[in-house]
């Protein structure tokens, strides 16, 4: 099945019992047992729910893994995956990782005895140098947020497996439509499904796919024990969102390419971060490991005053946290998504006060460019 067909037909199509073409929302917490322990496969909705199950099979197939798991948010997914580690373990993580990931590692898991080293994973040698005796995992985000740095997943997978480390990849920005980390050697792929997978800014959720039965068993145990699961209605919204994932990602790709070119040529723009630009340091690796470059573009206009001017003038770019939806969004990472990262560290990374991040939507690109043109002038 090709990807455009897969988003429609993978997983469980409709409902066997009724012929319903849409997977039903099984809004139930519990299930009738014919006798004690005699069930139709479900006994309690934290442990399993048919709507959630349909979503979990769907994401498993889209990411070419052994098992899929749905969570109540991307952070719930990330936290549940990190719970595979034990107190005393160490993990190497991408330095400009999502702010919430940095926070949960630095403030929660650190307190529980799991330590981390944050490095620029786009340089595999830095990962190698950060590996310690107690290192158990490498955690990548690629492309990163908001600087769109690219890490060579295949190279890091080799390194991880030489050292018997788990390779975990946050694939939120690329989506399973463009990039399948498990095919490149990763052990676990995860998503904030709040973003492109949901795609309509109407649901908060997370998804994980693992490459082995052993990991599936361990993660299921954590999912069921901790219980950070989504309700059936949110699971259904994700199934519906995925139906148009291919269409959306194709349109976003076209729009983003044109906008990146437009910004690159603009006199007021000092720097554009977009992996689709040949000048981007990760361009070749991105082109090799992913089918598309995605819809996230960051650009630096130098100072806060210019940022504020642009923010106050855009009409179609809505000022908001989040990304990956049908409507274009604009944000200032230093003040919003990445505010939980201390300023000295932000400056070190290049997340300056003059940096603007765009999440390109599926609108007519001419309108989007005109909007940026009037805001920048
Ligand atoms: C948003 C995001 C997360 C966190 O997901 P939530 O659904 O907000 O909990 C994790 N990683 C990346 C790359 C994200 O963009």
pLDDT tens per residue, range 216-229:
999 999 999 999 99
Assess whether 98 carries a catalytic annotation: yes
Span from the CA of 24 to the centroid of ligand 1 (angstroms): 27
Residue 341 pLDDT > 80: no
Cβ–ligand 1 contact at 75 (below 6 Å): yes
State the CB neighbour count (10 A cutoff) for residue 330: 21
Distance CA 331, CA 178 (A): 24
Residue 350 pLDDT > 90: no
Nearest residue CA, atom 5 of ligand 1? 74
Cβ–ligand 1 contact at 198 (below 6 Å): no
Strand partners, 189: 169, 209
Q: Which CATH architecture group holds 246-376?
A: Alpha-Beta Complex (3.90)
Assess whether 111 carries a catalytic annotation: no
Q: Does residue 209 or residue 347 have the better pLDDT? A: 209
Atom in ligand 1 nearest the alpha carbon of residue 141: 13
Cβ–ligand 1 contact at 337 (below 6 Å): no
Distance CA 330, CA 15 (A): 39
Task: Give the full edge-to-edge strand order of the sheet including 166-170.
Answer: 67-71, 206-210, 188-192, 166-170, 135-141, 90-94, 115-119
Domain 3-242 has CATH 3.40.640.10: yes
Query: Domain extents for the chain?
Result: 3-242, 246-376
Give the model confidence (pLDDT) of 51-67 as tens digits. 999 999 999 999 999 99
Give the model confidence (pLDDT) of 233-260 as tens digits. 999 999 999 999 999 999 999 999 999 9
Assess whether 353 carries a catalytic annotation: no
């Amino acid at each position: 099945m090709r990807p455009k067909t897969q988003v429609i037909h993978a997983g469980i199509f409709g409902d066997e019992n009724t012929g319903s073409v849409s997977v039903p929302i099984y809004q139930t917490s519990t299930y009738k047992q014919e006798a004690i322990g005699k069930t139709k496969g479900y006994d309690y909705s934290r442990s399993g729910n048919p709507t959630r199950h349909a979503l979990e099979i769907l994401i498993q197939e889209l990411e070419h893994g052994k098992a899929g798991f749905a969570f109540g948010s991307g952070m719930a997914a990330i936290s549940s995956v990190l719970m595979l580690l034990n107190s005393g373990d160490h993990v190497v993580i991408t330095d400009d990782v999502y702010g919430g990931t940095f926070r949960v590692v630095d403030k929660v898991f650190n307190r529980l005895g799991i330590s981390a080293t944050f490095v620029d994973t786009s340089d595999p040698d830095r990962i190698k140098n950060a590996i310690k005796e107690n290192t158990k995992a490498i955690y990548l985000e690629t492309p990163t947020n908001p600087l769109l740095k690219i890490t060579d997943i295949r190279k890091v997978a080799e390194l991880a497996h030489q050292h018997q480390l788990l390779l975990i990849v946050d694939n939120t920005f690329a989506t399973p439509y463009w990039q399948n980390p498990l095919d490149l050697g990763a052990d676990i792929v995860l998503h904030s499904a709040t973003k492109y997978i949901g795609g309509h800014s109407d649901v908060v959720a997370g998804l994980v796919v693992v490459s082995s039965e052993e990991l599936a068993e361990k993660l299921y145990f954590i999912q069921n024990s901790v219980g950070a699961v989504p309700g059936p209605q949110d699971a259904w919204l994700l199934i519906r969102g995925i139906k148009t994932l291919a269409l959306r990602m194709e349109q976003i790709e076209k729009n983003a390419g044109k906008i990146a070119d437009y910004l690159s040529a603009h006199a007021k723009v000092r720097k554009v971060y977009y992996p689709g630009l040949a000048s981007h340091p990760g361009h070749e690796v991105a082109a090799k490991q992913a089918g598309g470059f995605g819809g996230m573009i960051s650009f630096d206009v130098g100072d806060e005053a210019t940022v504020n001017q642009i923010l106050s003038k855009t009409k179609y770019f809505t000022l908001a946290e989040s990304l990956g939806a049908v409507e274009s969004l604009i944000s200032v990472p230093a003040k919003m998504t990445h505010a939980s990262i201390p300023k000295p560290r932000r400056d070190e990374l290049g997340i300056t006060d003059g940096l603007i991040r765009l999440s390109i939507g599926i609108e007519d690109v001419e309108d989007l460019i005109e909007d940026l043109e009037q805001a920048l002038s």
